[in-house]
Amino acid sequence: MDFSTLTWIGLLQVIWINIILSGDNAVVIALACRGLPERQRLVGMVLGAGVAIALRVVFTLFVAALLDMPFLRLAGGLLLFWIAVKLVTDEGDGEGHVQASDKLFHAVRTVAIADAVMSLDNVLAIAAVARDSKTMLVIGLVISIPLIVAGASLIMKMLERLPILVWAGAGLLGWLAGDMMLNDPFVRGQIGGEAVHRLELPAEVVGAVIVIALAYGIRRMRAAAAA
């Protein structure tokens, strides 16, 4: 395949932008896969990154227009809240009764749902760089898979050494959920673009606090019930 210099530059741009936009994806992959047996972690991370890339390709090629649909971001934000709380509160729950293959499936499923939500906001930047070259888009995203896996591996090692970062990761997802819900077309239409811009930081902070508070409350209740 004979790529021009311009095409190579575009390909590098797709790879670079995808790496920048995949920080939250790497966090989700690391959080979801940290409970897997050691031998399955790499498999889980590779599958999770593959799901993230596949969803990004689909969204970029076919459904970027959905970003303008009212209530889509609101629903996505609520789903992201649920995933964030679940990633913290499910830690260690019933692991002795769950088959390794089931745990792998659950981890990849969690990554798939979270990435489906988070990829919505990322597709416009990637599509803008790829323009009309679907081949360049797909190649660039596929090349990004090992880089996302590397990022998830690094984050997972940090989670093992500093468990408090699990809570920080959940808070990050709540932060993203708050921003996503505020930027829903319905909300923007109700309060106006200027108000949305002014309220972005408070909404993100509130989203992070809600996740941390809910997860903490659930874990306290479970601990009290088990005592």
Report the C-alpha gap between 55 and 115 in whole angstroms.
7
Give the burial class of 7: count Cβ atoms within 10 A of its Cβ; 0-12 exposed, 13-18 middle, 19 or more buried: middle
Non-local CB neighbours of 208 within 8 Å, separated by 6+ positions: 171, 172, 174, 175, 178
Quote the pLDDT of residue 21: 65
Nearby residues of 177 by Cβ (< 8 Å), 6 or more positions away: 76, 77, 78, 80, 81, 84, 207, 211
Please, what's the b/e burial string for 204-215 (b: 16 or more CB within 10 A of its CB; e: otherwise)? bebbbebbbebb
What does the radius of gyration of the chain's CA atoms come to, in whole angstroms?
Answer: 18
* Burial call 70-108: b when 16+ CB within 10 Å, e when fewer: eebbbebbebbbbbbbbbbbbeeeeeeeeeeeebbebbb
Residue pLDDT, tens place only, 3-32: 555 467 766 776 776 666 677 778 888 888
pLDDT, tens digit, 9 for 90 and up, residues 148-168: 788 888 888 888 888 888 898
List, in sequence order, the alpha helices (H) in the chain: 5-21, 23-33, 38-58, 72-89, 100-118, 123-130, 134-143, 145-161, 164-182, 185-191, 193-226
How far is Cα of residue 153 from the mean position of the Cα atoms in its chain? 15
Q: What is the pLDDT of residue 1?
A: 47
pTM for the predicted model, two decimal places: 0.74
Task: Write down the pLDDT at residue 161.
Answer: 87
The predicted structure's pLDDT at residue 67: 62
* pLDDT value at residue 97: 39
Domain boundaries along the sequence of the chain: 5-226
Q: Which amino acid, 33?
A: C
Predicted confidence at residue 95, as pLDDT, reads 41
Which two tokens mark 137? 């888009």
pLDDT tier at 90, thresholds 50, 70, 90: confident
First to last CA, the chain: 65
Tens digits of residue pLDDT in 22-74 = 777 788 888 888 888 888 888 888 888 888 778 777 776 665 566 677 888 88
The pLDDT score that the predictor gives to residue 211 is 95
Pair of tokens at residue 216? 């903490």
